[in-house]
Amino acid sequence: MSTPQGAPSQELRVLAVHAHPDDEASKGSATMAHYVSQGVKVMVATCTGGERGGIQNPAMESAAHPKRDMGGARRLEMAKAAQVLGIEQRWIGFVDSGLPEGDPLPDLPAGCFALQPLERAAAPLVRLVREFQPHVIIAYDENGGYPHPDHIMAHKVAVEAYNAAGDPEKYVGLGQPWTPSKLYYDLAFNPNRFRALHFALEEAGLQSPYAQRLAMFLEADSEGHQSPLGKHPATTQVDCGEFFEKRDDALRAHSTQVDPEGFFFAVSPEMQRRVWPWEDFSLIDSRVETSLPENDLFAGIR
Protein backbone atom coordinates (compact mmCIF):
# COMPACT_ATOMS: atom_id res chain seq x y z
CA MET A 1 0.00 0.00 0.00
CA SER A 2 1.32 3.44 -0.83
CA THR A 3 2.03 5.75 2.06
CA PRO A 4 0.77 9.33 2.47
CA GLN A 5 3.45 11.94 1.96
CA GLY A 6 3.81 15.44 3.32
CA ALA A 7 3.76 18.24 0.75
CA PRO A 8 4.21 22.01 0.49
CA SER A 9 1.06 24.08 -0.06
CA GLN A 10 1.43 24.38 -3.83
CA GLU A 11 1.32 20.57 -4.09
CA LEU A 12 -1.58 19.97 -1.72
CA ARG A 13 -4.75 18.44 -3.13
CA VAL A 14 -8.25 17.95 -1.72
CA LEU A 15 -11.11 15.95 -3.22
CA ALA A 16 -14.72 16.65 -2.21
CA VAL A 17 -17.27 13.95 -3.11
CA HIS A 18 -20.81 15.18 -3.81
CA ALA A 19 -24.03 13.56 -4.93
CA HIS A 20 -25.45 16.18 -7.32
CA PRO A 21 -24.46 19.44 -8.99
CA ASP A 22 -25.23 22.24 -6.48
CA ASP A 23 -24.22 20.15 -3.44
CA GLU A 24 -20.65 21.41 -3.77
CA ALA A 25 -21.88 25.02 -3.53
CA SER A 26 -24.00 24.49 -0.42
CA LYS A 27 -21.46 22.34 1.44
CA GLY A 28 -17.93 23.55 1.99
CA SER A 29 -17.57 25.86 -1.01
CA ALA A 30 -16.10 28.78 0.95
CA THR A 31 -13.48 26.37 2.28
CA MET A 32 -12.71 25.24 -1.25
CA ALA A 33 -12.30 28.85 -2.43
CA HIS A 34 -10.10 29.55 0.59
CA TYR A 35 -7.74 26.72 -0.31
CA VAL A 36 -7.73 27.62 -4.01
CA SER A 37 -6.51 31.08 -2.97
CA GLN A 38 -3.55 29.38 -1.26
CA GLY A 39 -2.58 27.46 -4.38
CA VAL A 40 -4.13 24.17 -3.26
CA LYS A 41 -5.63 22.03 -6.03
CA VAL A 42 -9.31 21.37 -5.31
CA MET A 43 -11.34 18.74 -7.15
CA VAL A 44 -15.08 18.08 -6.85
CA ALA A 45 -16.34 14.65 -7.83
CA THR A 46 -20.05 14.84 -8.74
CA CYS A 47 -21.56 11.37 -8.59
CA THR A 48 -24.74 12.03 -10.60
CA GLY A 49 -25.98 14.54 -13.14
CA GLY A 50 -28.96 15.66 -11.09
CA GLU A 51 -31.24 14.65 -13.95
CA ARG A 52 -34.25 13.95 -11.72
CA GLY A 53 -34.09 17.21 -9.80
CA GLY A 54 -37.07 19.54 -9.95
CA ILE A 55 -36.97 23.31 -10.44
CA GLN A 56 -36.55 24.82 -6.97
CA ASN A 57 -36.24 28.47 -8.00
CA PRO A 58 -39.60 30.11 -8.80
CA ALA A 59 -37.90 32.50 -11.22
CA MET A 60 -36.92 29.51 -13.38
CA GLU A 61 -40.36 27.92 -13.64
CA SER A 62 -40.84 29.09 -17.21
CA ALA A 63 -37.30 28.35 -18.40
CA ALA A 64 -37.37 26.05 -21.42
CA HIS A 65 -33.97 24.37 -21.16
CA PRO A 66 -34.35 22.62 -17.78
CA LYS A 67 -37.86 21.48 -18.68
CA ARG A 68 -36.50 19.94 -21.86
CA ASP A 69 -33.14 18.71 -20.52
CA MET A 70 -32.59 19.07 -16.78
CA GLY A 71 -29.32 17.15 -16.88
CA GLY A 72 -27.91 19.40 -19.59
CA ALA A 73 -29.01 22.55 -17.78
CA ARG A 74 -27.37 21.40 -14.58
CA ARG A 75 -24.09 20.65 -16.38
CA LEU A 76 -23.98 24.26 -17.52
CA GLU A 77 -24.75 25.43 -13.99
CA MET A 78 -22.00 23.22 -12.58
CA ALA A 79 -19.45 24.61 -15.03
CA LYS A 80 -20.36 28.15 -13.97
CA ALA A 81 -20.10 27.32 -10.25
CA ALA A 82 -16.74 25.61 -10.74
CA GLN A 83 -15.46 28.71 -12.50
CA VAL A 84 -16.65 30.93 -9.66
CA LEU A 85 -14.85 28.79 -7.07
CA GLY A 86 -11.74 28.15 -9.15
CA ILE A 87 -12.00 24.39 -8.71
CA GLU A 88 -11.65 21.38 -10.96
CA GLN A 89 -14.69 19.14 -11.34
CA ARG A 90 -15.28 15.64 -12.61
CA TRP A 91 -18.52 13.83 -13.40
CA ILE A 92 -18.48 10.29 -11.97
CA GLY A 93 -21.19 9.29 -14.44
CA PHE A 94 -24.16 7.82 -12.59
CA VAL A 95 -27.84 8.68 -12.95
CA ASP A 96 -29.69 10.64 -10.27
CA SER A 97 -31.95 8.43 -8.14
CA GLY A 98 -34.49 11.14 -7.37
CA LEU A 99 -35.95 11.68 -3.91
CA PRO A 100 -38.75 9.16 -3.29
CA GLU A 101 -41.81 10.61 -1.62
CA GLY A 102 -45.07 9.12 -0.42
CA ASP A 103 -46.32 6.48 1.97
CA PRO A 104 -45.29 3.86 1.23
CA LEU A 105 -42.17 5.17 -0.49
CA PRO A 106 -41.96 4.10 -4.16
CA ASP A 107 -39.13 1.96 -5.45
CA LEU A 108 -36.08 3.75 -6.79
CA PRO A 109 -35.77 3.82 -10.60
CA ALA A 110 -33.82 0.98 -12.20
CA GLY A 111 -30.20 1.75 -12.96
CA CYS A 112 -29.95 4.75 -10.67
CA PHE A 113 -26.88 5.56 -8.58
CA ALA A 114 -28.31 4.43 -5.25
CA LEU A 115 -29.05 0.93 -6.57
CA GLN A 116 -25.56 0.25 -7.93
CA PRO A 117 -23.44 -2.46 -6.29
CA LEU A 118 -20.82 -0.75 -4.13
CA GLU A 119 -17.79 -1.87 -6.13
CA ARG A 120 -19.35 -0.71 -9.40
CA ALA A 121 -20.35 2.63 -7.90
CA ALA A 122 -16.95 3.19 -6.26
CA ALA A 123 -14.76 2.14 -9.20
CA PRO A 124 -14.81 5.50 -11.07
CA LEU A 125 -14.06 7.34 -7.83
CA VAL A 126 -11.17 5.00 -6.99
CA ARG A 127 -9.78 5.70 -10.47
CA LEU A 128 -10.10 9.45 -9.85
CA VAL A 129 -8.40 9.22 -6.43
CA ARG A 130 -5.47 7.36 -8.00
CA GLU A 131 -5.25 9.91 -10.79
CA PHE A 132 -5.73 13.13 -8.79
CA GLN A 133 -3.87 11.85 -5.67
CA PRO A 134 -5.67 13.90 -3.00
CA HIS A 135 -4.14 14.25 0.43
CA VAL A 136 -7.61 14.93 1.89
CA ILE A 137 -11.03 13.54 1.00
CA ILE A 138 -14.23 15.28 2.14
CA ALA A 139 -17.39 13.18 2.24
CA TYR A 140 -20.88 13.13 3.74
CA ASP A 141 -21.66 11.27 6.95
CA GLU A 142 -23.53 7.95 7.09
CA ASN A 143 -26.84 9.78 6.80
CA GLY A 144 -25.69 11.62 3.70
CA GLY A 145 -25.95 14.96 5.51
CA TYR A 146 -29.64 14.38 4.92
CA PRO A 147 -31.06 11.01 3.89
CA HIS A 148 -31.39 11.36 0.14
CA PRO A 149 -30.50 7.95 -1.35
CA ASP A 150 -27.82 9.49 -3.58
CA HIS A 151 -26.23 11.26 -0.61
CA ILE A 152 -26.07 8.02 1.33
CA MET A 153 -24.50 6.24 -1.65
CA ALA A 154 -22.05 9.13 -2.11
CA HIS A 155 -20.96 8.57 1.50
CA LYS A 156 -20.45 4.87 0.83
CA VAL A 157 -18.37 5.31 -2.30
CA ALA A 158 -16.23 8.05 -0.74
CA VAL A 159 -15.37 5.88 2.26
CA GLU A 160 -14.73 2.90 -0.01
CA ALA A 161 -12.38 4.95 -2.20
CA TYR A 162 -10.56 6.35 0.84
CA ASN A 163 -9.99 2.85 2.19
CA ALA A 164 -9.31 1.00 -1.06
CA ALA A 165 -7.46 3.37 -3.41
CA GLY A 166 -4.09 2.66 -1.79
CA ASP A 167 -4.45 -1.13 -1.92
CA PRO A 168 -2.85 -2.62 -5.06
CA GLU A 169 -4.96 -5.77 -4.67
CA LYS A 170 -8.22 -3.86 -4.96
CA TYR A 171 -9.69 -2.27 -8.09
CA VAL A 172 -6.88 -3.72 -10.18
CA GLY A 173 -6.36 -1.92 -13.47
CA LEU A 174 -7.73 1.42 -12.27
CA GLY A 175 -4.40 3.21 -11.85
CA GLN A 176 -1.44 3.22 -9.52
CA PRO A 177 -2.38 2.96 -5.82
CA TRP A 178 -2.62 6.19 -3.84
CA THR A 179 -3.37 6.47 -0.13
CA PRO A 180 -5.07 9.69 1.00
CA SER A 181 -3.92 11.02 4.36
CA LYS A 182 -7.18 12.23 5.93
CA LEU A 183 -10.93 11.68 5.66
CA TYR A 184 -13.40 14.33 6.81
CA TYR A 185 -17.17 14.49 6.94
CA ASP A 186 -18.70 17.81 5.95
CA LEU A 187 -20.86 19.37 8.69
CA ALA A 188 -22.80 21.92 6.65
CA PHE A 189 -25.83 21.15 8.81
CA ASN A 190 -24.02 21.76 12.10
CA PRO A 191 -26.83 22.60 14.57
CA ASN A 192 -24.50 24.84 16.58
CA ARG A 193 -24.01 27.06 13.54
CA PHE A 194 -27.74 27.34 12.89
CA ARG A 195 -28.34 28.08 16.57
CA ALA A 196 -25.74 30.88 16.59
CA LEU A 197 -27.15 32.46 13.44
CA HIS A 198 -30.71 32.11 14.74
CA PHE A 199 -29.98 34.03 17.95
CA ALA A 200 -27.91 36.65 16.10
CA LEU A 201 -30.87 37.37 13.83
CA GLU A 202 -33.28 37.58 16.76
CA GLU A 203 -30.95 39.93 18.66
CA ALA A 204 -30.80 42.16 15.59
CA GLY A 205 -34.61 42.25 15.42
CA LEU A 206 -34.66 40.26 12.19
CA GLN A 207 -36.82 37.29 11.34
CA SER A 208 -34.97 33.97 11.60
CA PRO A 209 -35.74 31.12 9.19
CA TYR A 210 -33.95 28.63 11.44
CA ALA A 211 -36.39 28.01 14.31
CA GLN A 212 -38.21 25.17 12.58
CA ARG A 213 -34.96 23.64 11.36
CA LEU A 214 -33.51 23.67 14.87
CA ALA A 215 -36.61 21.92 16.19
CA MET A 216 -36.45 19.34 13.41
CA PHE A 217 -32.84 18.51 14.19
CA LEU A 218 -34.11 16.84 17.32
CA GLU A 219 -36.44 14.45 15.50
CA ALA A 220 -36.56 13.21 11.91
CA ASP A 221 -39.85 13.72 10.12
CA SER A 222 -42.12 10.78 9.32
CA GLU A 223 -40.67 10.24 5.83
CA GLY A 224 -37.05 10.66 6.88
CA HIS A 225 -36.40 13.74 4.75
CA GLN A 226 -34.90 15.72 7.61
CA SER A 227 -31.83 14.37 9.31
CA PRO A 228 -31.66 13.97 13.07
CA LEU A 229 -28.91 15.61 15.08
CA GLY A 230 -25.54 14.55 13.66
CA LYS A 231 -23.41 12.22 15.74
CA HIS A 232 -20.02 13.46 14.56
CA PRO A 233 -18.50 16.39 16.48
CA ALA A 234 -16.95 19.38 14.75
CA THR A 235 -13.22 18.79 15.09
CA THR A 236 -12.05 21.22 12.42
CA GLN A 237 -13.17 24.75 11.65
CA VAL A 238 -11.74 26.44 8.57
CA ASP A 239 -11.78 30.24 8.80
CA CYS A 240 -13.11 31.14 5.35
CA GLY A 241 -15.43 34.09 5.96
CA GLU A 242 -13.78 36.27 3.32
CA PHE A 243 -15.06 33.79 0.71
CA PHE A 244 -18.73 33.78 1.74
CA GLU A 245 -19.66 36.04 -1.19
CA LYS A 246 -17.93 33.64 -3.56
CA ARG A 247 -19.89 30.78 -2.00
CA ASP A 248 -23.11 32.73 -2.56
CA ASP A 249 -22.19 33.36 -6.18
CA ALA A 250 -21.55 29.63 -6.65
CA LEU A 251 -24.96 28.88 -5.17
CA ARG A 252 -26.65 31.37 -7.51
CA ALA A 253 -24.93 29.69 -10.45
CA HIS A 254 -27.24 26.71 -9.83
CA SER A 255 -30.22 28.75 -10.89
CA THR A 256 -32.65 25.83 -11.29
CA GLN A 257 -31.97 24.62 -7.74
CA VAL A 258 -31.31 27.72 -5.65
CA ASP A 259 -33.76 30.53 -5.02
CA PRO A 260 -31.71 33.76 -4.68
CA GLU A 261 -34.36 34.99 -2.24
CA GLY A 262 -34.34 31.75 -0.25
CA PHE A 263 -32.96 30.02 2.81
CA PHE A 264 -29.26 30.09 1.89
CA PHE A 265 -29.23 33.89 1.77
CA ALA A 266 -31.21 34.59 4.96
CA VAL A 267 -28.14 35.92 6.80
CA SER A 268 -25.83 38.50 5.25
CA PRO A 269 -22.19 37.51 4.73
CA GLU A 270 -21.22 40.33 7.10
CA MET A 271 -23.31 38.90 9.93
CA GLN A 272 -22.06 35.40 9.22
CA ARG A 273 -18.45 36.61 9.40
CA ARG A 274 -19.20 38.15 12.79
CA VAL A 275 -21.13 35.20 14.23
CA TRP A 276 -19.74 32.06 12.54
CA PRO A 277 -16.86 32.77 10.13
CA TRP A 278 -16.01 29.10 9.68
CA GLU A 279 -17.09 26.00 7.85
CA ASP A 280 -17.19 22.88 9.98
CA PHE A 281 -15.82 19.40 9.43
CA SER A 282 -15.35 16.23 11.45
CA LEU A 283 -12.06 14.35 11.16
CA ILE A 284 -12.99 10.69 10.73
CA ASP A 285 -9.62 9.14 9.96
CA SER A 286 -6.06 10.38 9.78
CA ARG A 287 -2.95 8.55 8.64
CA VAL A 288 -0.77 11.44 9.80
CA GLU A 289 -0.24 12.85 13.26
CA THR A 290 -2.52 15.73 14.16
CA SER A 291 -4.09 17.18 17.27
CA LEU A 292 -7.68 18.31 17.78
CA PRO A 293 -9.25 20.75 17.41
CA GLU A 294 -7.83 21.84 14.04
CA ASN A 295 -8.23 24.92 11.87
CA ASP A 296 -6.73 23.39 8.72
CA LEU A 297 -7.74 20.30 6.75
CA PHE A 298 -4.04 19.80 5.97
CA ALA A 299 -2.88 19.87 9.60
CA GLY A 300 -0.20 17.19 9.93
CA ILE A 301 0.36 17.10 6.15
CA ARG A 302 1.92 20.49 5.41
Per-residue confidence (pLDDT) for residue 218, from 0 to 100: 58
Distance CA 283, CA 272 (A): 23
Per-residue confidence (pLDDT) for residue 217, from 0 to 100: 63
* Domains annotated on the chain, with CATH: 9-191+233-286 (3.40.50.10320)
Per-residue confidence (pLDDT) for residue 71, from 0 to 100: 97
Per-residue b or e along 135-151, where b marks 16 or more CB atoms closer than 10 Å to that residue's CB: bbbbbbbebbbbbbbbb
Per-residue confidence (pLDDT) for residue 7, from 0 to 100: 54
Average pLDDT along the chain, 302 residues, taken 10 residues at a time: 49 97 98 98 98 95 95 98 98 96 91 98 98 98 93 98 98 98 96 93 90 68 50 96 98 97 93 98 98 98 94
Distance CA 150, CA 158 (A): 12
Distance CA 51, CA 135 (A): 31
pTM for the whole structure: 0.92
Per-residue confidence (pLDDT) for residue 219, from 0 to 100: 56
Distance CA 204, CA 200 (A): 6
Per-residue confidence (pLDDT) for residue 146, from 0 to 100: 85
Please tell me the total number of residues recorded for the chain in this structure.
302
Per-residue confidence (pLDDT) for residue 10, from 0 to 100: 53
Short-list 197, 292, 155, 162, CA closest to 237? 292
